[in-house]
């Protein structure tokens, strides 16, 4: 008798859906985050929002600000929990240098794309991006609509 596999849940914690609409992403990097214990417990329960967050570089280090982690009542009774504190990102020196070059030389910005679990670690996918113009957004929306309509046509023709 074969054993059933345990149900695999998605490892994605939060996504920044508006980032791909507002920006043209050029490079993506995986960064760890420096978190406190109550933050990890709140993230496990899904109380996180990265849509208003932004990444900045200071003194050769990367930080993220604007991530909203709502504290749990039971987990954060003994500490003063700041839901929007600035958190340090853990990147290699080479990656930080590439990010600094993209920001300073090319005028790009660093955007948080998604937060996910990798084993027992919380990882953040960040990307260097340039802002899209209105006509670029319209073209992307048009392409997305066409792909959806094409899928409908193909599905109905197969029946």
**pLDDT tens digit sequence for 41-79:** 889 888 899 988 889 999 999 999 999 998 888 765 677
Q: Tell me whether residue 72 is in a domain.
A: yes
Tens digits of per-residue pLDDT, 120-147?
899 999 999 888 777 777 888 888 889 9
Mind listing the pLDDT tens digit for each residue in 3-15?
Answer: 655 555 578 898 9
In the predicted structure, residue 80 carries a pLDDT above the cut 90? no
Q: Where are the beta strands (DSSP E) in 18-158?
A: 23-33, 48-49, 54-58, 61-65, 68-69, 87-90, 109-118, 121-131
Q: Note whether residue 152 is domain-resident.
A: no
CATH number at 103 reads 2.40.280.10
The answer to the question of residue 144 being in a domain is no
User: How many structural domains does the chain have?
Assistant: 1
Q: What percentage of the chain exceeds 70 in pLDDT?
A: 92
In a domain, 7, yes or no: no
Domain assignment present for residue 1? The answer is no
Expressed as residue numbers, the domain containing 55 is 12-131
5 backbone φψ class: left, alpha, beta (φ>0; ψ -120 to 50): beta
Integer angstrom CA distances of residue 92 from 44, 49, 154? 26, 25, 46
Q: How many CA atoms lie within 13 A of 68 on its CB side?
A: 8
Q: How far is CA 104 from the centre of its chain?
A: 22
In a domain, residue 80? The reply is yes
């Amino acid at each position: 008798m074969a054993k059933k596999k345990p149900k695999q849940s998605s490892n994605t914690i939060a996504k920044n859906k508006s980032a791909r609409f507002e920006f043209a992403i050029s490079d993506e990097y995986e960064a760890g985050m420096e978190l406190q214990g109550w933050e990890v417990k709140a993230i496990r329960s899904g109380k996180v929002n990265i849509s208003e967050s932004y990444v900045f570089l200071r003194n050769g280090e990367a930080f993220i600000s604007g991530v909203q982690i709502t504290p749990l009542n039971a987990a954060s009774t003994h500490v003063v929990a700041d839901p929007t504190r600035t958190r340090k990102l853990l990147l290699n020196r080479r990656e930080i240098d590439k990010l600094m070059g993209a920001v300073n030389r090319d005028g790009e910005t660093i955007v948080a794309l998604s937060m996910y679990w990798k084993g027992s670690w919380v990882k953040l996918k960040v990307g260097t991006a340039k802002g899209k113009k209105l006509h670029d957004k319209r073209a992307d929306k048009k392409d997305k609509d066409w792909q959806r309509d094409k899928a409908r046509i193909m599905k109905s023709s197969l029946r």
